[in-house]
Chains A and B, each alone.
Chain A
Amino acid sequence: MNVVAVTKVFGSNEDNKVIALNGVSVKIEAGEFTALVGPSGSGKSTLLNVVSGLDHPTSGEVLLQNELISDKTGDEMSDFRRDNIGFIFQAYNLIPVLTVAENIEYVMLLQGKDRHHRRELVAQILKEVDLVGYEDRFPQQLSGGQQQRVAVARAIVSQPKIVLADEPTANLDSENGKSLVELMYRLNRNHNMTFLFSTHDSMIMEAANRIITMKDGVIIDDKIR
Chain B
Amino acid sequence: MSDLQIIQSALERAANRHRWSRAFRGLWHGLLFGAIISLVLLAAHRIFPVPDWFMVATPLVPLPCMLAGLIMGGWRKPGPSETARWLDSRTHLEERLSTALELSASSRETAWRQLVINDAATRAKDIDPRSLMPFHLPRATRWALLVLALVAGLGFVPEYRSRNYRQKQSDEQRIKEVGQRLTELTKRNLEKRPPALEQTQKSLEAVEDLGQKLSRANLTRSDALKDLASVSDKLQKQLQDLSKDPSLKSMERVARASTGSDSQTAAGLQKQIDSLQKQAGESSSTPEKLDQLKKDLEKLQQAAKGLADKSSPAADAERRKLADSLSAMSREAQDMGVQLPQLDEAIEALAANQTDLFMKELDASLMDLDKLREMSRTLQQLQQQAQKLGKDLAEQLANGQPELAQATLQKMIQQLQAANLSPEQLKKILEDVSKAIQPAGDYGKVAQHLKESTRQMQAGDKAGAAKSLADAEKELAELMKQLGDAETLMAELNALSQASMCVGTGQGWGACKKPGTRPGGKPGPGVGTWADDNAAWGGEMTEHGDNSTLLRPDLAPRGLTEREQADTKDVLKPTKVKGQFSPGGQMPSITLKGVSIKGQSQVEFQEATTAAQSEAESALSQEKVPRVYQESVRDYFDDLKK
- Say whether A and B bind each other: no
A interface residues (Cβ-Cβ under 8 A, vs B) = none
B interface residues (Cβ-Cβ under 8 A, vs A) = none
